[in-house]
C-alpha cells in the first residue's frame, strides 16, 4: 500500500514500538498522528519526524478520545494505516505479578483481570473498529485497497508465564480476533494483521534498569540473535506489512525463536 498522500495513526506512538513505527511510516510518506498520553515525548517526536506529523493526546480507554485521534488523522489525509501499540494504566490496587492465586493464597480480583483485558484487548478493538470505519470512506487505491490495521499481540498470547493470566488472555484475544476481523473487513478492501513481539528493549525495561542490565538478564533467553529485540525491528516489520497487500489475517511472531 502506497502511503504517499495518506495519513497513519499510531496509538502508543510515543513509546518504544510506537516511535519506531511512526518514524518508519513517515519515511514511507505518511503524515503520522502520534496518539499517546505522554505529551512531551509525543510532541518532540512529531517535530523530529516532520512530514506534517502531529501529536494528539489520547486516552485509549475512551472511545471519544480514540475517535478524536482518528479524526485528526483523517483531517491530514485519507487514513490508510493504523498501528495499535499502546499499553495503559495498571489496575487499581495491582502490585507485582497477577497470579490467579498468589503465594499468600489470595485470588486475583476480577476487577484487575478485567482492567488488563480492557487495556490490551478491548481498547485495541475500539481503535481497530473506529479506524476501519474511517478507512471505509476512502477511495480505493489502484490495488483496490482502502487501508490496513496492525494490532500488537505478544508471545505471551501463545505461552504466558506465571502471573500473566490476564495479559495472556488479552493478547490471545488479539491473536484470536485477527483473522475474523480481516474477514469482516475484506469486502471493504481493509486488511487486519497482528505482530506478536518477544522480549524487546522498550521503555518498560529501561525505566527499571540500565540497557546493559536488561540485555544481560533477558538477552540470553533469546536463541538467535542472542539479545533483546530493538524496537526498530518492530517498526520495520510494521512498515513492511503496510506495504505488502498479501499479508492479511495472521499474526507474525517477532521473537528470535524465543519459546518459554
pLDDT band at 94, cuts 50/70/90? confident
3-state secondary structure of 244: coil
Query: Which residues lie below 8 Å from residue 222, measured CB to CB, with a gap of 6+?
Result: 198, 199, 228, 229, 255, 256, 257, 258
Query: Which residues lie below 8 Å from residue 207, measured CB to CB, with a gap of 6+?
Result: none
d(CA 64, CA 85): 18
pLDDT, position 259: 87
pTM of the model: 0.96
Catalytic annotation on 120? no
Beta-bridge mates of residue 83: 10, 150
Catalytic residue selected from 120, 158, 167, 234: 167
d(CA 46, CA 56): 10
Does the pLDDT value for residue 51 go beyond 80?
Answer: yes
8 A C-beta contact, residue 46 and residue 70: no
What residue ranges define each of the domains in the chain, with the CATH number in brackets? 7-90+109-254 (3.40.50.720)
8 A C-beta contact, residue 23 and residue 10: no
Least confident of 23-27, 87-91, 247-251: 87-91
Q: Residue 254: which of 185, 150, 154 has the closest Cα? A: 154
Does the pLDDT value for residue 97 go beyond 90?
Answer: no
Does the pLDDT value for residue 213 go beyond 90?
Answer: yes
pLDDT, position 260: 73
What's the chain's average pLDDT? 95
Does the pLDDT value for residue 183 go beyond 80?
Answer: yes
Q: Residue 8: which of 41, 26, 120 has the closest Cα? A: 26
What is the average per-residue pLDDT within 192-213? 89
Does the pLDDT value for residue 223 go beyond 90?
Answer: yes
pLDDT band at 203, cuts 50/70/90? confident
Amino acid at each position: 500500500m502506497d502511503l504517499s498522500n495518506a495519513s497513519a495513526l499510531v496509538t502508543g506512538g510515543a513509546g518504544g514500538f510506537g516511535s519506531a513505527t511512526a518514524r518508519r511510516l513517515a519515511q514511507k510518506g505518511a503524515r503520522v498522528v502520534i496518539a499517546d498520553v505522554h505529551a512531551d515525548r509525543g510532541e518532540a517526536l512529531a517535530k523530529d519526524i516532520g512530514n506534517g506529523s502531529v501529536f494528539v493526546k489520547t486516552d485509549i480507554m475512551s472511545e471519544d478520545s480514540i475517535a478524536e485521534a482518528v479524526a485528526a488523522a483523517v483531517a491530514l489525509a485519507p487514513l490508510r494505516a493504523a498501528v495499535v501499540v499502546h499499553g495503559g494504566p495498571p489496575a487499581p490496587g495491582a502490585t507485582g505479578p497477577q497470579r490467579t492465586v498468589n503465594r499468600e493464597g489470595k485470588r486475583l480480583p476480577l476487577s484487575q483481570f478485567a482492567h488488563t483485558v480492557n487495556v490490551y484487548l478491548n481498547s485495541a478493538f475500539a481503535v481497530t473498529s473506529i479506524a476501519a470505519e474511517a478507512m471505509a470512506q476512502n477511495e480505493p487505491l489502484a490495488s483496490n485497497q482502502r487501508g490496513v490495521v496492525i494490532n500488537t499481540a505478544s508471545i505471551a498470547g501463545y505461552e504466558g508465564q506465571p502471573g500473566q493470566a490476564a495479559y495472556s488472555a488479552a493478547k490471545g484475544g488479539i491473536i484470536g480476533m485477527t483473522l475474523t476481523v480481516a474477514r469482516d473487513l475484506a469486502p471493504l478492501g481493509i486488511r487486519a494483521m497482528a505482530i506478536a513481539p518477544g522480549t524487546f528493549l522498550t521503555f518498560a525495561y529501561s525505566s527499571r534498569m540500565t540497557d546493559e542490565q536488561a540485555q544481560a538478564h533477558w538477552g540470553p533467553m533469546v536463541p538467535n540473535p542472542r539479545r533483546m529485540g530493538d524496537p526498530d525491528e518492530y517498526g520495520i516489520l510494521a512498515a513492511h506489512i503496510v506495504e505488502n497487500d498479501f499479508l492479511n489475517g495472521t499474526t507474525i511472531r517477532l521473537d528470535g525463536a524465543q519459546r518459554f
